[in-house]
Chains A and B, each alone.
Chain A
Amino acid sequence: MTDYVKWLIKRILLYLVNIILAFIVIFPIIYAMSVSFMPDSEAFQYPPRLIPHSFYLGNYIEALNSVPILRFILNSFIVSIIVTIGQILTSSLAAYAFAFYEFKGKNIIFAIFLSTMMIPGEAIIIANYLTIRQLGWLNTYAGLILPYLSSALGIFLLRQFYLTIPKDYYEAAQLDGCKRSEFLIKVVIPLSRPAIGSLAVYSFLMTWNQYMWPLLITSTDDMRTVQIGISMLQWSDSQSFGLIMAGVIMILIPSIIIFIFGQKQLVDGLNAGALKG
């Protein structure tokens, strides 16, 4: 056997292993998608089918008609978009103070802000629930959104990025008659697009995929978010697998699109720390 043939066989094997592994990882999603195109008779068949006979759209139509799924999707979009924008705004402002200003108590305030990362949401969820109930915000967007409007992680991430902005930029801006607050809007934020992108993808996905908080504070169909809606489908009387999977695919599409387009930002954001090690 020549070296070339050896090399070729090795490469083919490595491709094969990767393809098999990738297939196993993505299998649940592909399977959900193909069941979503099967009428009940086919979905309940044994042995289970992998590929639908035809491109049956009935499940999607039924899911849209029988469950307020569009309402769930709308709710989740409203909440996720406002939380994402809110986190970007509050984090940009706080990070600006921490990166560019000297003021009394700066280090201690920074430490206090970061310490919020040490308090897991689950550990304070009872008290937060009682607060929101007391405020009369059960089943409201306010209740879903407000607790998440800032993020220590976001502040941290943007501050680290701001610290890399060279001094010359400020001096140049100052010569142009730029005020400090304008410097944030006109120079710092545009320069920080990569970091803001990471934060945006991350907070959108986190909010879209949120489960425990909306489960606790929403109880009406018109305020439920997608994740709660989909788990309700699971326990609904119909128990039509095709219908349930059509629902799952509809709520997965936004996360998958954002993941695919924001993958680089997301991975870069996550790795910014790891790469140094």
Chain B
Amino acid sequence: MERTEPIANYSNAIDDSDVKNNVIRFKNDIEPYLYLFPSAIIFATFVFYPFVKTVYISLFLTDPQGYLSKFVGLQNYIDIFKSADYLNSIYLTLKFIIMTVPLEMIVAFILSVFANLKLKGIEVVRTIYTLPIAISSASATVIWMLLFNPSIGFINYILSFFGIHGIGWLTDVKYGMISVSIVNVWLNVGINFIFMLAGLKSISKDLYESAQIDGANVFVQHIKITIPMLSPTLFFLITVDFINAFQEFGVINIMTQGGPVNSTNVMVYSIYRDAFFNFRYGNGAAESIILFILLLIFTLLQFASSEKKVFYK
């Protein structure tokens, strides 16, 4: 259920005002409503109705079957904000964001700079850098769990050359969040790479030439030219990455189940646990609404940033 996705940015593909003159406008009758009907039914049933229902459930206690038993007003909200587990899950989500988003951006930036060079066969490299976006979180996690295996895994093998031995990637409280973050960075670099490469391609070569004449080396050129010119894309990607990170569930459910010792119990995992294991649907619904509000803020920022991109030049 990942509806908030970066392609939302397609909005800028075409500037409406350029096109309006070309387009035919059929007159008002029943036909357009018929065309909208299938989508309207789906949205009403599986987006708007469940949204209202979630708000409604969040005001009730439920029995283990999920049937509403007692109206409690905002009590569920009060309860979750008094619960150390829930507050911890917010903290862990923020920690997860800090451990993934900057790294995703930095790695993608490095990859896109190298993939933007004029080299024969660079297309192959670009395909490889983008490839992880096609990989599901489930298969990625299963593969990485083998790499993280404490006794025969490849990562501990490599580390043993540096005198580091026997790290319990998935069992040690210190490393659970790190392992989950590594898999997520690997999965999400591709989407950042695509946007950054496109951003780099659109930067005029003249800028670099004049910087070269002024004697700036490649590193300085990237700091002084690339990053500022790319900043609208970077800001947009930060919001995309934040939204994705808030929604993290798959890797954690397969790899750590929120553990070891609750150290990866992020917000969506906490919703899942409260609703589908503890059968506290009311609490789960209240947590869902809090998640929605947080994500709404970032989605609005994302829209604002894609607007900004249009008017940047």
> Which of B27-35, B80-88, B95-103, B208-216 lies at the binding interface?
B27-35
CB of B45 to closest CB in A, whole Å? 8
Write out the residue numbers on chain B whose beta carbons fall within 8 Å of the beta carbon of A233. 142
Q: Are B51 and A32 in contact (CB under 8 A)?
A: no
Among residues of B, the one whose C-beta sits closest to the C-beta of A267 is B194
State whether the Cβ of B175 lies closer than 8 Å to any Cβ in chain A: no
Q: Are B10 and A231 in contact (CB under 8 A)?
A: no
CB of B107 to closest CB in A, whole Å? 9
Cross-interface CB contact of A31 among B12, B143, B247, B295, cutoff 8 Å: B143
Cross-interface CB contact of A127 among B27, B133, B138, B285, cutoff 8 Å: B285
Write out the residue numbers on chain A whose beta carbons fall within 8 Å of the beta carbon of B198. 271, 274-275
Write out the residue numbers on chain B whose beta carbons fall within 8 Å of the beta carbon of A181. 31
State whether the Cβ of B7 lies closer than 8 Å to any Cβ in chain A: yes
Cross-interface CB contact of A130 among B46, B66, B129, B313, cutoff 8 Å: B66
Write out the residue numbers on chain B whose beta carbons fall within 8 Å of the beta carbon of A101. 25-28, 31-32, 35
Write out the residue numbers on chain B whose beta carbons fall within 8 Å of the beta carbon of A130. 53, 57, 66, 281
Write out the residue numbers on chain B whose beta carbons fall within 8 Å of the beta carbon of A112. 43
Among residues of B, the one whose C-beta sits closest to the C-beta of A135 is B45
CB of A167 to closest CB in B, whole Å? 5
Q: Are A227 and B50 in contact (CB under 8 A)?
A: no
Q: Are B54 and A120 in contact (CB under 8 A)?
A: no
State whether the Cβ of A96 lies closer than 8 Å to any Cβ in chain B: yes
CB of A40 to closest CB in B, whole Å? 11
Among residues of A, the one whose C-beta sits closest to the C-beta of B153 is A48
Write out the residue numbers on chain A whose beta carbons fall within 8 Å of the beta carbon of B223. none
Write out the residue numbers on chain B whose beta carbons fall within 8 Å of the beta carbon of A18. 114-115, 117, 119, 122, 125
CB of A155 to closest CB in B, whole Å? 6
Q: Are B247 and A122 in contact (CB under 8 A)?
A: yes
The docked-state distance in angstroms from the alpha carbon of A151 to that of B35 is 14
CB of B204 to closest CB in A, whole Å? 13
A-facing residues in B252-287 (Cβ within 8 Å): 253-254, 268, 271-272, 275-276, 281, 284-285
The docked-state distance in angstroms from the alpha carbon of A260 to that of B111 is 19
Cross-interface CB contact of A21 among B22, B129, B191, cutoff 8 Å: B129
Write out the residue numbers on chain B whose beta carbons fall within 8 Å of the beta carbon of A133. 66
Q: Given that A126-B288, A231-B138 are contacting pairs, would A248 and B143 also be in contact in the complex, using a CB cutoff of 8 Å? A: yes
Q: Are A123 and B128 in contact (CB under 8 A)?
A: no
State whether the Cβ of B250 lies closer than 8 Å to any Cβ in chain A: yes
CB of A22 to closest CB in B, whole Å? 4
Write out the residue numbers on chain A whose beta carbons fall within 8 Å of the beta carbon of B114. 14, 17-18, 21
CB of B66 to closest CB in A, whole Å? 5
Write out the residue numbers on chain A whose beta carbons fall within 8 Å of the beta carbon of B11. 156, 160, 273
Cross-interface CB contact of B147 among A22, A31, A149, A167, cutoff 8 Å: A31
Q: Given that A150-B39, A259-B131, A259-B134 are contacting pairs, would A15 and B288 also be in contact in the complex, using a CB cutoff of 8 Å? A: no
Binary per-residue interface labels of chain A (99-135) against chain B in the complex, 1 for a CB within 8 Å, 0 otherwise: 1111110100100110011111111111111110100
State whether the Cβ of B306 lies closer than 8 Å to any Cβ in chain A: yes
Write out the residue numbers on chain A whose beta carbons fall within 8 Å of the beta carbon of B186. 25, 28
Best-buried of B32, B51, B271, B295 by chain A (most CB within 10 Å): B32
Q: Are B1 and A212 in contact (CB under 8 A)?
A: yes
Cross-interface CB contact of B288 among A125, A241, A252, A256, cutoff 8 Å: A125
Query: A residues bordering B, Cβ < 8 Å?
Result: 11, 14-15, 17-19, 21-22, 25-26, 28-29, 31-32, 35, 43-48, 89-91, 93-94, 96-97, 99-104, 106, 109, 112-113, 116-131, 133, 146-153, 155-157, 160-161, 163-167, 170, 180-181, 202, 205-206, 208-213, 215-216, 226-228, 230-231, 233-234, 241, 244-245, 248, 251-252, 255-256, 258-260, 263, 266-267, 269-277
Closest A-B pairs by Cβ, 9 of them? A121-B1, A277-B309, A209-B136, A273-B9, A127-B50, A259-B134, A272-B13, A97-B32, A101-B32
Give 14 CB contacts A-B under 8 Å: A21-B125, A25-B128, A28-B186, A118-B300, A133-B66, A160-B14, A205-B133, A212-B268, A230-B138, A234-B145, A241-B146, A259-B130, A270-B6, A274-B9
Query: B residues bordering A, Cβ < 8 Å?
Result: 1-14, 16, 19, 22-29, 31-33, 35-36, 38-40, 42-43, 45-51, 53-54, 57, 66, 110-111, 114-115, 117, 119, 122, 124-125, 127-147, 151-154, 157, 186, 189, 191, 194-195, 198-199, 202, 232-233, 236, 243, 246-247, 249-250, 253-254, 268, 271-272, 275-276, 281, 284-285, 288-289, 291-292, 295-296, 299-300, 306, 309-310, 312-313
5 new A-B contacts, CB < 8 A, other than A216-B276, A226-B136, A231-B142, are A93-B38, A103-B29, A212-B253, A230-B138, A271-B194
